[in-house]
A and B are shown apart, each in its own frame.
Chain A
Amino acid sequence: DTGVSQDPRHKITKRGQNVTFRCDPISEHNRLYWYRQTLGQGPEFLTYFQNEAQLEKSRLLSDRFSAERPKGSFSTLEIQRTEQGDSAMYLCASRGLAGSQETQYFGPGTRLLVL
């Protein structure tokens, strides 16, 4: 499968614990995006990278959230001291350089449940 992959697909954790999610974009896609989707809502933008540079962060991304893309390939999203309100689906998307005809391709998501 050459699509966007995310790991793990599901994560259950206790409040206060740290969690880390990984996203592997489509090969050679230089842009990588993170979104969060809560039940009954559309996805909300969190942050995006062009290669290894983090170019934009949403105000939804509190100090407890950090994202990295150290080599411009895969990315990680870490949540420290998780809260019940962090329970959501975390989606990753990637996009190539093919101009305006290109679009974002989404991974299957990581569903987080904070108890």
Chain B
Amino acid sequence: AQSVAQPEDQVNVAEGNPLTVKCTYSVSGNPYLFWYVQYPNRGLQFLLKYITGDNLVKGSYGFEAEFNKSQTSFHLKKPSALVSDSALYFCAFAYSSASKIIFGSGTRLSIRP
């Protein structure tokens, strides 16, 4: 089945350190790839998406993601973590810009002061 995988249920990082949240995809064709973030008791917020072009995508709140076709990965990164980045992060894909989004299982990011 076509899917995205987030291999880590939880990632712990010290404030100020770089962070990486991993995502690999198993989707045929040229999917749209997304990262969303979910804060407690709030809806999903869009961070960034990859369609085509530059493999490094810049998004909201200083996040970026690197698309790697050979490794079928789309890891989320940030150079310097903030405590306020602590949240649940979802990698996702879609077959087109308007179709349903299929989400991974999520990674809980915890930034310690």
Q: B104: which A residues are within 8 A, CB to CB?
A: 42
Question: Is A102 on the interface with B (CB-CB < 8 A)?
Answer: yes
In chain B, positions 54-90 with a C-beta closer than 8 Å to chain A are 90
Expressed in whole angstroms, the Cα–Cα distance for A106 and B37 within the complex equals 11
Number of A-B residue pairs with CB-CB distance less than 8 Å in the complex they form? 52
- Give the distance in Å from the alpha carbon of A101 to the alpha carbon of B105 in the complex: 25
B100 x A91 contact (CB < 8 A) = no
Question: Of A40, A45, A102, A108, which one neighbours B43 at CB under 8 angstroms?
Answer: A108
Residues 85-113 of B, flagged 1 when their CB comes within 8 A of A and 0 if not, give 00000101000011011111110000000
Give the number of residues in B that approach A within 8 Å (Cβ atoms).
22
Q: Least Cβ distance of A26 to chain B in Å?
A: 12
Asked whether A41 and B106 contact (CB < 8 A) given A103-B46, A108-B43, the answer is: yes
**Judging by beta carbons under 8 Å apart, are A43 and B103 in contact?**
yes
Chain A: minimal CB distance from B98 (Å)? 6
Residue on A nearest B100 in the bound complex, by CB: A45
Name the distance in Å between A43's Cβ and chain B's nearest Cβ. 5
- The complex places the Cα of A104 from the Cα of B102 at a distance, in Å, of 12
The contact sample of 8 A-B pairs, CB cut-off 8 A, is A33-B100, A33-B101, A43-B44, A43-B103, A91-B44, A100-B32, A100-B51, A109-B43
Task: Name B's A-contacting residues (CB within 8 A).
Answer: 32, 34, 36, 41-46, 49, 51, 90, 92, 97-98, 100-106
Chain A residues at the B interface, C-beta cutoff of 8 Å: 4, 31, 33, 40-45, 48, 56, 58, 91, 93, 95, 99-109
